Amino acid sequence: MKNKEITFFRSLFIVSAIWNLIGAIFGYFNTAFTFNGFFNRELTDPLFYAIYQGAWGTTLVYFIGYLIVAKNPLKHTGIVIVGGIGKIGFAISLLKFYLAGLAGPVVFVVIAGDFVFSLLFLYYFISLYRAKENIV
């Protein structure tokens, strides 16, 4: 893989890390506010609070993972596989909530963002394959 491509992917994973950090700041550190913004209802049940905050804790972990990938995009492909699966799964879940009338339109910010990152991650894997780099 050429240096120009590696630089692009380093930048991609830094931006992805920042995207996840922003989500984690809202979701993990301001859990009830974020829940209310997404679902237009109060988060009063302590069990639901812990589960929802934990889901955003995973987003915080992805922030760290993408920073690791940015350091060496040719080495840490497994993190991208897991992160990409998480992005697609989260986007699909939010879309289902929206279509069921359980989530407000603000979720489309996350759906669109995670979908774009998923496509860019797919491009990353195609580029690795074309360059005959090890994917895992």
**Whether the Cβ atoms of residue 13 and residue 72 lie closer than 8 Å to each other:** no
DSSP state at residue 75: T
How far is the CA of 49 from the CAs of 61, 63, 100, in angstroms? 18, 21, 21
Cβ-based neighbour number of residue 101 at 10 Å = 8
Burial class (CB in 10 A: 0-12, 13-18, 19+), 112: exposed
Listed in sequence order, the residues at least 6 apart from 64 whose beta carbon sits closer than 8 Å to its beta carbon are: 17
Residues 6+ apart with CB under 8 A from 60: 20, 21, 24, 28
Q: How far apart are alpha carbons 27 and 52 in whole angstroms?
A: 8
- Per-residue pLDDT averaged across 92-120, rounded? 97
Residues 77 and 128 sit within 8 Å (Cβ to Cβ): yes
**5 with 113: CB under 8 angstroms?**
no
pTM of the model: 0.92
pLDDT tens digits, 51-92: 999 999 999 999 999 999 999 999 999 999 999 999 999 999
Res 1: pLDDT: 84
Task: Please identify which residue in the block is written with the tokens 């679902």.
Answer: 39
Q: What is the mean pLDDT of the chain?
A: 96
